[in-house]
Amino acid sequence: MKLGIKNFCRPVLLMAVVLFPCWVLAESFSLRPAKQEVVLNPGVSAQESFTITNNLGRNSYFELKLKNIELNRPGAYPLTDFVSLEGERVFVADGQTKTVYFGINIPTETAPGGAYGFLQVIASPNQGAKGEAGVSAALGSTIFVRVGGPVKEEGKLVSFGILGRQLKFAAPLEWHFSFENSGNIYLNPYGKMILVNKLTGSQTLVDIPPRSVLPGQTRLSETKTSALGFPGLYSASLLLNRGYNDEVDMRETSFWFLPWPILLIFSAILLFFVWVIIFKIIRKKNV
């Protein structure tokens, strides 16, 4: 019996496409764009598209499905209330790219808010050897539709810090921060992190790309920084734009960065001076 991943992939895709939107290779087929954000006023319709590139090494049919992200909050709508596909199955020859269209229609009396969901694309299973199950591949692309009008944009940076202890011996360094969306529309907070060496004053800048946070949700994010130029005590400041009205939150922490090679050299020098002092003390006693 052939086994697909239709049931298994649903909860996985739901989290993956929202938290980590990207066009992903699965058996080398791709779905672009990774995320679409559309803003329409009530009574307006539009047509958008996405592309499927087939590099599976075989011709394939692709099953298309729209999935809702249920939030159960005022102003949050199921995606399927507004979005419809032209078809639920499309054929793409090996090595070819196919453009697929979907329509968006906002009824006239719709209150301001947002519709959230994603497009699920499942490639037809390959033909396994006799007695073996075929394997399906699936991808997801996030779709957010914002209904124009006054909404409540409200959020804040909740926490920021370095993972683990404040003393680090090697890079990369791992960081975490969380953002709370207390409004009724999705937000895309973004910003930068500034690392400053307290001794030399040298700075390292780390860009924080936009990360979607759904209304009523708190999202924990992580990022990494590469090797720092000089050991010592560092301050780390996170400047996070909330994604509306150019409002910026700031959090700061500090840490020590002492790479193992520097630490070993310092220890060797320290031991050498200790040995010299002990040697001089012993020599004076013997005189």
Write out the two tokens for 148: 């124009």
- Per the DSSP assignment, residues forming a β-bridge with 52 are 31, 98
Q: What pLDDT shows up at residue 22?
A: 45
48 in Cβ contact with 36 (< 8 Å): yes
CA distance 159 to 157: 6
CA distance 122 to 120: 7
pLDDT at 214 over 90: yes
Q: What pLDDT shows up at residue 131?
A: 45
Answer whether CATH 3.90.660.10 is correct for domain 155-264: no
List the helix and strand counts (H, then E) for the chain. 2, 18
C-alpha 204 chain-centroid distance: 22
Site of tokens 């990494």 = 224
166 in Cβ contact with 60 (< 8 Å): no
Give tens-digit pLDDT for 221-275. Answer: 999 988 677 888 999 999 999 999 999 999 999 999 987 666 667 677 877 788 8
Domain spans in the chain, listed from the N-terminal domain onward? 6-147, 155-264
* Whether the domain at 6-147 and the domain at 155-264 fall into the same CATH topology: yes
User: Computed over its alpha carbons, how large is the radius of gyration of the chain?
Assistant: 27
Q: What pLDDT shows up at residue 93?
A: 96
Pairing of the two strands 232-241 and 248-257: antiparallel
Give tens-digit pLDDT for 160-190. Answer: 999 998 888 888 899 999 999 999 999 999 9
Burial 47-84, CB ≥16 within 10 A → b, else e: eeebebbbebeeebebbbbbbbbebeeebbbbbeebbe
| CATH topology assigned to domain 6-147 | Immunoglobulin-like (2.60.40)
Q: Using 50, 70 and 90 to split pLDDT, how confident is the model at 1?
A: very low
Find, among 263, 189, 258, 197, the residue nearest to 223 by Cα.
189
CA distance 188 to 155: 10
Distances in Å between the Cα of 13 and the Cα atoms of 73, 82, 154, 183, 206 are: 22, 21, 27, 25, 28
DSSP secondary structure of 203-223:
EEEEEE----B-TT-EEEEEE
Cis before 33 (ω within 30): yes
Give tens-digit pLDDT for 75-116. Answer: 999 999 999 999 999 999 999 999 999 999 999 999 999 999
**What is residue 117's DSSP assignment?**
E
User: Average pLDDT, stretch 190-199?
Assistant: 95
Q: What pLDDT shows up at residue 261?
A: 66
Question: Hey, is 10 helix, strand or coil?
Answer: helix
Half-sphere exposure of 45 (CA within 13 A, CB side): 6
CA distance 24 to 30: 6
